[in-house]
Structure 1
Amino acid sequence: MAPLIRKIVVMTEDVVAELGRPVDHVARRAVAAAVIRNPWHGRGYVADLQPEVREVAPLLARELTARLVEALGGAGEVEAFGKAAIVGVDGEAEHGSALIHTPYFGDLLRDAVDGTSIIVFSEQRAAPGAPLTVPLWHKNASATRSHYQTVEVRVGDAPRPGEIVVVAAASSGARPNARIGDRTTDPAVEIIELEAAAP
């Protein structure tokens, strides 16, 4: 049988300026993506996806988390996280969901970076080279607006029709120049006015 993983891609980005001026802090965003053979490809409708999930998802979680943590300089540097999957056109969207939305993937990622929040996600079925925007939020306080951000991933030759790209993503900090506050800093009078105006 062909190997499960065809390639692993790691990307980082550091936003150092916005609108021509240095940002208030530089937070690194990182993505680790595994291009894998779809374990359900060519089998038609498979009612029970769990046997393959139990075998494949933990392997991917360990491989991707290790690279993600290394790219950010250690688990303690991770402040925000996200996950994603792109399924090749001969697969089902459910195949990507099966690999990222279970404890076999999510819990391992969360535990590796000392997180407690659920992990925000995105997924799609697409042809090779399709971009996917991966959302991130705070690993322990998902309502922390400063850490709402995205990172784009695109693997030029993947996913092929019988492949899946599985993604783990993280950031070492908030958005550059984040300054919209959160529920604790919203002016109380404006919240009352908004609630009064709701139908």
Structure 2
Amino acid sequence: MSVVEVRKVKLDLEEVWHERGPRLDQPLRVAVVTAIVKNPYAGRFEPDLLPFMQSLREFGSDLSARLIAELGGATAVQAYGKGAIVGEDGELEHGATWHEAGGWAMREALGNPLAMVPSAKTIGGVGTRLMVPLGHIQASYVRSHYGTAEVTVWDGPRRDEIAFALAMATGGRIHARLGGLAADAIQGRDGLR
């Protein structure tokens, strides 16, 4: 399999100025790109999913580039996450093909940050809503950057499709004030602290 069959791509941008506290000088920007892709394994069991996962790598790179451009460049990105919604004729493992393909693509496009890319996946029908977890790109223990990005497409995924999503944000939660490792205290050795 060398071609990913895309039906549509949706790009969402959210700007948050405040959370009932002081208004920021610059908003937190959260962008999500979601692609509705034909599931080549819908309705059947396929023992080898690796060819599909490998074919998604270039696609993941393209979607990552779109997000980074929307947010003003790689240096603006502080948090990321990924997700998949598998249509009803698929299985959860079909969504897991995005773990490596989507996560690898985002990390490469951002200069190979150290932290793992948080992820969520589910099986659902048209209009299913998925909350994708976000985390700091360099250190998973940066509590202020634990957040979510909403993934939903009004007409997808259909039974034989998968919605693959990538999310990036320019910062952490607005008015975060619950302690933990601060972003400016990251040591950058292991992706955790």
Is the TM-score greater than 0.5? yes
Deviations 1:86-121 (A, max 9, x none): 0000100110012x122x332221111122111000
Q: Detail structure 1 runs of 4+ shifted over 6 Å in the superposition.
A: none
Give, as a single letter, the amino acid of the residue that structure 2 aligns with 1:128.
V
Which residue of 1 is the match for residue 187 of structure 2? none
| Alignment partner, residue 49 of structure 2 | 49
1:158-177 equivalences under 5 Å are 158-177=156-175
Q: Aligned pair count?
A: 179
Structure 1 residues 80 and 3: CA distance shift in structure 2, 3 A: closer
Query: Contact between 2:21 and 2:175, CA under 8 Å: does it hold in 1?
Result: no
Task: Pick closer, same or farther for the CA change 1:121–1:88 going to 2, 3 Å.
Answer: same
Identity %: 39
TM-score by length of 1: 0.84
Match of 1:38 in 2: 39
1:59 shift after superposition: 2.7
1:1-199 correspondence runs (5 A): 4-19=5-20, 21-23=22-24, 26-42=27-43, 44-55=44-55, 57-98=56-97, 100-102=98-100, 104-114=101-111, 115-182=113-180
2:139 is paired with a residue whose SS is coil
The CA RMSD over aligned residues, in Å, is 1.7
Measured in 1, the distance between the counterparts of 2:19 and 2:181 equals: 25
In the aligned structure 1, how far is the partner of 2:4 from the partner of 2:63? 17
**Structure 2 residue ranges without an equivalent (≥5):** 183-193
Contact 2:102/2:166, CA 8 A, preserved across alignment = no
Instruction: Tell me the amino acid that sits aligned with residue 126 of structure 1.
Output: G
The letter of the residue matching 1:45 is: F
Are the aligned partners of 1:83 and 1:167 in contact in 2 as well (CA < 8 Å)?
A: yes
Structure possessing the higher radius of gyration over alpha carbons: 1
Partners in 1 of 2:12 and 2:127 — Cα distance? Answer: 15
Q: Secondary structure at the match of 2:106?
A: helix
